[in-house]
Amino acid sequence: MELLKGADVISALNAKLKSELAMSSYIPQLAIVRVGEKPDDISYERGASKRMDTIGLRCRSYVFEESISNQAFIEEFQRINSDPDVDGILLLRPLPKHIDEAAIEKQIDPRKDVDGISPYNMAKLFAGDETGFAPCTAEAVIEMLDYANISLTGKRVTIVGRSLVVGKPLAMLCIKRNATVTVCHTKTVNLSDTCQQAEILIACAGRARMLDSSYIGEQAVVIDVGINVDQDNKLCGDVDLDDIRQTAALATPVPGGVGTVTTSVLAKHVMQAAKRMGK
């Protein structure tokens, strides 16, 4: 089995973005909005900021106390949203329960919604309108398949997971590439039988090592989007990578796979946002 590592995809994508940026007189800016001090949010913020810096983009973080009121946060977010110097906005979620996250998703300028959380961008994605932004994690899967020169046309693709962050938008991206898509989830009857029919299997259910070799068809391509912590407190995916080595043709590791590519996709979206706004 061949491993498709995120580092190789990142290197190729970053080089392309740096080349495009070098031909522009404008340096786009990403605004990262964080509420509270959750370690996962802080870690992602640092990673995204570092990736923007590596490519040569501007990045500014806006951090608010977890105790900020709903109305105060809506007002602060609108100031960021309306700032002409901000080209893209990354809102770290979930927000504290007392903040109306759905209202913020509707409030964000769709042109600056570089992680595809706006219902307007989601509608564009489902309509096949390429002027919208897909969620970065979903698009990172497509970037990895493209890097490996794996065509989706006519392929049987099975996605295990149905979230609005990965599963559903990824299904739309695959359909746009002319794949025949099956979306499964943890309640699917005879899940292993369905998965075995897939030429490309994408796992995004959020359950540690739930898919072993009994779910994998011979010589299938396996893309693992899951990020979990196992009983030994180690990071792992939704796929039991060691168990599928004799069955799959190619697979992505966790850590070091799809998750690492998302911030490069984010940078790509920030640059696209600035261009679409005529900068």
What is the chain's mean pLDDT, rounded? 97
CA dihedral 256, 259, 261, 267 (to 10 degrees): -140
Give tens-digit pLDDT for 46-73. 999 999 999 999 999 999 999 999 999 9
The predicted structure's pLDDT at residue 151 = 98
Going by pLDDT thresholds of 50, 70 and 90, the confidence category of residue 107 is very high
The predicted structure's pLDDT at residue 108 = 98
Q: What is the pTM of this model?
A: 0.96
What is the C-alpha to C-alpha distance for residues 279 and 271, in angstroms, rounded to an integer?
Answer: 10
- Facing residues of 88 across strands? 30
Give tens-digit pLDDT for 252-264. 999 999 999 999 9
The predicted structure's pLDDT at residue 119 = 97
What residue ranges in 88-247 does DSSP mark as E strands?
Answer: 88-91, 156-160, 180-184, 200-203, 221-224, 228-229, 235-236
| Per-residue tokens: 263 | 């911030």
What is the C-alpha to C-alpha distance for residues 27 and 77, in angstroms, rounded to an integer?
Answer: 22
For 106, list phi and psi in degrees, rounded to 5: -80, -30
Residue 231 has pLDDT above 90, yes or no: no
The two beta strands, 235-236 and 228-229, are antiparallel
Helix axes 136-147, 6-22, angle to 10 degrees: 100
Q: What is the mean pLDDT of residues 191-200?
A: 98
Give tens-digit pLDDT for 145-170. 999 999 999 999 999 999 999 999 99
Question: What one-character DSSP code corresponds to residue 215?
Answer: G
Give tens-digit pLDDT for 3-44. 999 999 999 999 999 999 999 999 999 999 999 999 999 999
| Per-residue tokens: 90 | 């990354």
What is the C-alpha to C-alpha distance for residues 102 and 42, in angstroms, rounded to an integer?
Answer: 22
Going by pLDDT thresholds of 50, 70 and 90, the confidence category of residue 174 is very high
The predicted structure's pLDDT at residue 103 = 97
The predicted structure's pLDDT at residue 82 = 98
Residue 186 has pLDDT above 90, yes or no: no
